[in-house]
């Protein structure tokens, strides 16, 4: 079983594992605790995600954009389809 983690590496918040509802509930506090000073969300290690995972990533990206950064790097399996369904840009910002 994969380990779902959030780890700070330099100015990147590196997220790995499966981002489903259970994982999001478990790692949200870690993500928020490490967000200050981060400039990038690194999603290369995300194996798959569901709508809860997309919601968490969109919120983290919004908080990074609020501080003037917010790059999203790496592609998680299934992210493109969920971004399209929820009308999110490549930076996970809502597109009206």
Residue 93 lies in a domain: no
Integer angstrom CA distances of residue 94 from 6, 13, 88 = 23, 21, 5
pLDDT in tens, 65-78: 998 887 899 988 89
For tokens 């968490």, the residue is: 56
| Residues in Cβ contact with 43 at an 8 Å cutoff, skipping those fewer than 6 apart | 15, 57, 72, 73, 74, 75, 76, 79
pLDDT in tens, 81-96: 999 999 999 989 987 6
Residue 25 structural domain: 5-85
pLDDT in tens, 16-54: 999 999 999 999 999 999 999 999 999 999 999 999 999
The per-residue pLDDT for 4 is 79
Number of structural domains the chain divides into: 1
Residue 90 lies in a domain: no
Residue 3 has pLDDT above 80, yes or no: no
CB 64 within 8 A of CB 56: no
The per-residue pLDDT for 1 is 42
Where residue 77 sits, what CATH number does that domain have?
A: 3.30.750.24
């Amino acid at each position: 079983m994969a380990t779902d983690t959030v780890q700070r590496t330099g100015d990147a918040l590196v997220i790995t594992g499966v981002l489903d509802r259970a994982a999001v509930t478990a790692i949200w506090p870690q993500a928020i605790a490490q967000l200050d000073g981060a400039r990038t969300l690194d999603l290369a290690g995300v194996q798959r995600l569901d709508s809860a995972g997309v919601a968490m990533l969109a919120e983290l990206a919004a908080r990074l954009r609020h501080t003037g950064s917010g790059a999203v790097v790496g592609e998680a399996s299934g992210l493109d389809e969920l971004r399209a369904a929820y009308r999110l840009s490549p930076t996970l910002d809502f597109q009206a």
